[in-house]
Amino acid sequence: DMQIELQNLQREIGITFVLVTHDQEEALSMSDFVCVLNGGRIVQLGQPSEIYDEPADLFVADFVGKTNLLSGTVAGHSGDLVEVALADGTVIAARKRTALQQGEAVSVSLRPESLSLGAQTSGPFKGIVRNRIFLGSTAEYAIEVQGIGTLLAKADHLIGHGNLFKPGEPVAIGFASGTPLAFAETKNNGANQRVDKHVEIIS
């Protein structure tokens, strides 16, 4: 396809080229180096994995790839982690990008693939599967969690293991310690935010 042709062309000619795109998957798959712009201002520079795994701010976390955004309040600190009280009263530990103060309103980013699902999985959330998209090697779920809203989850599909959850089924949701990332900004899932945003690719 066009992405592969552009990569081959760049390698054959041996030049640096810049591709401006609104497609986050295209930016991550084609680039050696990514520049994220917000309102004409550079907000983060780095390799694709760095941009995705370690976003500089809430804008980048929300714009590059899919993520769950949970609103909460700083309840305390535990070493390098911050304890965040979510809307339903659940307290989770999260990494932080900047210094956060007790009582400060924050948004917590949780990538869909960082969530683990299971009937017996230990974790802070219990929910009901509302939608499932089967993609062959993976499945994407929309899970309704009372007091939190809808969480997106992405799980590997293991052939012969019967690990697919059906709409209407209850499911427990967990995640590894330190997976959530807290930002000193607030935005909820579903907020209208993707307006005039650009990603520049440098290969």
| Whole-angstrom distance, CA of residue 112 vs CA of residue 152 | 5
What pLDDT is stored for residue 33 in this prediction?
A: 86
What pLDDT is stored for residue 202 in this prediction?
A: 52
What pLDDT is stored for residue 91 in this prediction?
A: 93
SS3 category, 33: strand
| Whole-angstrom distance, CA of residue 147 vs CA of residue 125 | 10
Q: What is the value of pTM for the model shown?
A: 0.81
| Whole-angstrom distance, CA of residue 81 vs CA of residue 65 | 24
Give the bridge partners for 36, in sequence order. 44, 199
pLDDT (tens digit, 0 to 9) for every residue of the chain, 203 residues total? 677 888 888 888 887 778 777 777 777 887 888 888 888 899 999 999 999 999 999 999 998 889 999 999 999 998 889 999 999 999 999 999 888 999 999 999 999 999 999 876 667 899 999 999 988 888 999 999 999 999 999 988 776 656 688 999 999 999 987 899 999 977 766 444 444 455 554 54
What pLDDT is stored for residue 118 in this prediction?
A: 85
Instruction: For tokens 């949780």, name the residue.
Output: 110
| Whole-angstrom distance, CA of residue 203 vs CA of residue 188 | 33
What pLDDT is stored for residue 120 in this prediction?
A: 66
Measured in degrees and rounded to the nearest 5, phi and psi for residue 5 equal -60, -40
| Whole-angstrom distance, CA of residue 73 vs CA of residue 3 | 42
Cβ proximity of 169 and 127 under 8 Å: no
What pLDDT is stored for residue 9 in this prediction?
A: 84
In 10 A of CB 47, how many CB atoms? 14
Cβ proximity of 101 and 125 under 8 Å: no
- In CATH, what number does 112-175 get? 2.40.50.140
| Whole-angstrom distance, CA of residue 109 vs CA of residue 182 | 6
What pLDDT is stored for residue 14 in this prediction?
A: 82
In 10 A of CB 15, how many CB atoms? 9
Span(s) in the chain for CATH 2.40.50.140: 112-175
What pLDDT is stored for residue 84 in this prediction?
A: 95
Measured in degrees and rounded to the nearest 5, phi and psi for residue 14 equal 75, 30
Over residues 68-107, the pLDDT tens digits come to: 999 999 999 988 899 999 999 999 999 998 889 999 999 9
